[in-house]
């Protein structure tokens, strides 16, 4: 906990603790101010509603994403977790007939504002997908640099970027002698770590992870969880997972979504041991989903 500026949290005019109390469905956060004491809010979600055509995928969600911590989004299949995640980097709107309403702020700036360029946003808020997908026509080295190669942005010292990001994800020693091989040459777990390296290379402030381990075996999963642990001190992480044990292991804060609504949000230990909502408790104990 802490050492960070807590003014933001306790500020009187629409402090985050207040906003959560007013807008969130739970209203059960006993002492939001205390909960968020000493934390910085990196991204704020207020009354977010999104869906396709006439159908809502998520309705009226409000919660904070705490800086340099891991926030887990859990819930049964189809509850809107992925849609929620995709609203944070404006990927949702790329789909046909998609709509979004509400406010999502990054460092207090509304990312859906008029003069915000979504492509710029996506460099600051990166994403890793469920199925590892290195670009097949690029080498391992170029996959790391893809964020620059694809957008035409210049990178000063490419070899250093490649080495440092591969070291961060623990791949360097394994692949340093085969950087020119295609990205698809690696095993599933290695590919996913490569995808994380690729996302990290552009130095995002937030990293969104959509069930990053569900296509991987347990050993690879463990390595990635370890990686998440190491990364979160420098990057804010939001992870969607259907694996509750993983959420409990890896995150500091947890949000439970059900049928597109936020049922409960709190710090992970509390959510998993003394959840306030009965629905949360039922899900955690495996009675459904």
Partner 1 sequence: MKLLSISRKLLRIASSKRRFLNSLFSLGVVLSAILVVAPLFIILVSVAIKGGRALNLDFFLSLPKAVGESGGGIAHAIVGTLFMVGTGLLFSIPIGVASGVFLATTSNKRLSAIVRTSADCLAGVPSIVTGLFVYALLVVPFKRFSGFAGAVALSIIMLPTITRTTEEVVRMVPHDLFESAIALGAKRWQAVFRVVLPTAGRGILAGLIGAASRAMGETAPLMFTAFGSHFLNLNPFEPVSAIPLVIFNYAISPYEDWQQKAWAASLVLTFLVLGGIIVSRRLVYGRFG
Partner 2 sequence: MSRRRFSSDHVFFSYLTLSGTSIVAILAGIVVVVGLQSRENINRTGITEFITGTTWDPVAGIFGALPAIYGTILTSLIAIIIAVPLGFGSAIFISEFAPPRIGVVFSVFIDLLASIPSVVYGLFGLFTFAPFMREHVQPLLQGAFGKLPVFQGPPLGVGFLTAGILLSIMILPIITSVSREVLKAVPTPEREAGIALGLTRFELVRGVLFPLSRSGLFGATILALGRALGETMAVTMVIGNRYEVSSSLFAPGHTLSAVIANEFTEAGTPQYLSALAGLALILMGITLLVNVIARILVLRITGATR
Residues that bind partner 1 (CB under 8 A): 89, 91, 94, 96, 119-123, 126-127, 129, 131, 133, 135-137, 146-147, 149-152, 195, 198-199, 202
Report d(CA 190, CA 175) in Å as an integer: 9
Token pair of 235, please? 């990057």
Token pair of 124, please? 């600051």
Nearer to partner 2, 44 or 266 (CB): 44
Token pair of 194, please? 């490569």
The gap from C-alpha 26 to its chain's centroid, in whole angstroms, comes to: 22
Partner whose footprint covers residue 172, from partner 1, partner 2, none (CB < 5 to 8 Å by kind): none
Nearer to partner 1, 164 or 184 (CB): 184
Closest distance to partner 2 from the beta carbon of 233 (Å) = 25
Closest distance to partner 2 from the beta carbon of 123 (Å) = 9
Closest distance to partner 2 from the beta carbon of 205 (Å) = 12
List the one residue from 124, 131, 242, 249 that touches partner 2 (CB under 8 A).
Answer: 124
Nearer to partner 2, 30 or 117 (CB): 117
Nearer to partner 2, 57 or 106 (CB): 106
Nearer to partner 2, 7 or 117 (CB): 117
Partner whose footprint covers residue 91, from partner 2, partner 1, none (CB < 5 to 8 Å by kind): partner 1
Residues 46-105 that bind partner 2 (CB under 8 A): none
160-166 long-range CB contacts below 8 Å, 24 or more apart? Answer: 161/201, 162/201, 165/197, 165/198, 165/200, 165/201, 166/197
Closest distance to partner 2 from the beta carbon of 207 (Å) = 18
Closest distance to partner 2 from the beta carbon of 111 (Å) = 8
Nearer to partner 1, 129 or 172 (CB): 129
Closest distance to partner 1 from the beta carbon of 210 (Å) = 10
Q: Is 12 in the site for partner 2 (CB under 8 A)?
A: no
Q: Using CB atoms within 10 A of its CB, is residue 201 exposed (0-12), middle (13-18) or buried (19+)? A: buried
Nearer to partner 1, 193 or 198 (CB): 198
List the one residue from 116, 159, 176, 181 that touches partner 2 (CB under 8 A).
Answer: 116
List the one residue from 9, 72, 87, 121 that touches partner 2 (CB under 8 A).
Answer: 121
Pairing of strands 236-240, 70-74: parallel
259 closest CA partner among 75, 100, 63: 75
Size of the site for partner 2 (CB under 8 A): 9
Binding site for partner 2 (CB under 8 A): 109, 111, 114-117, 120-121, 124
């Amino acid at each position: 906990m802490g050492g960070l500026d807590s003014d933001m949290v306790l500020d009187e005019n629409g402090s985050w603790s207040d906003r959560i109390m007013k807008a969130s469905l739970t209203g059960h956060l006993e002492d939001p101010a205390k909960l968020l004491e000493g934390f910085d809010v990196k991204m704020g979600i207020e009354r977010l509603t999104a869906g396709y055509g006439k159908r809502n995928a998520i309705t009226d969600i409000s919660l904070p994403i705490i800086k340099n911590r891991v926030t887990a989004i859990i819930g049964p299949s189809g509850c809107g977790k992925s849609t929620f995640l995709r609203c944070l980097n404006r990927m949702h709107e790329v789909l046909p007939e998609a709509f979004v309403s509400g406010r999502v702020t990054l460092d207090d700036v509304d990312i859906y504002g008029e003069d915000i360029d979504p492509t710029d946003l996506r460099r600051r808020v990166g994403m890793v997908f469920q199925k590892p997908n290195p670009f097949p026509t690029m080498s391992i080295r170029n996959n790391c640099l893809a964020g620059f190669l694809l957008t035409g942005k210049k990178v000063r010292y490419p070899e250093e970027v490649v080495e440092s990001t591969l070291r961060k994800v623990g791949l360097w020693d394994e692949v340093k002698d085969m950087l020119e091989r295609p990205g698809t040459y690696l095993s599933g777990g290695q590919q996913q770590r490569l995808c994380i390296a690729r996302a990290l290379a552009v130095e995002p402030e937030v990293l969104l992870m959509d069930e990053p381990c569900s296509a991987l075996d347990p050993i690879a999963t463990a390595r990635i969880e370890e990686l998440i642990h190491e990364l979160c001190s420098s990057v804010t992480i939001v992870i969607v997972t259907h694996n509750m044990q993983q959420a409990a292991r890896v995150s500091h804060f947890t949000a439970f979504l059900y049928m597109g609504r936020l049922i409960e949000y709190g710090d992970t230990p509390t959510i998993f041991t003394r959840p306030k909502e009965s629905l949360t408790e039922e899900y955690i104990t495996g009675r459904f989903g």
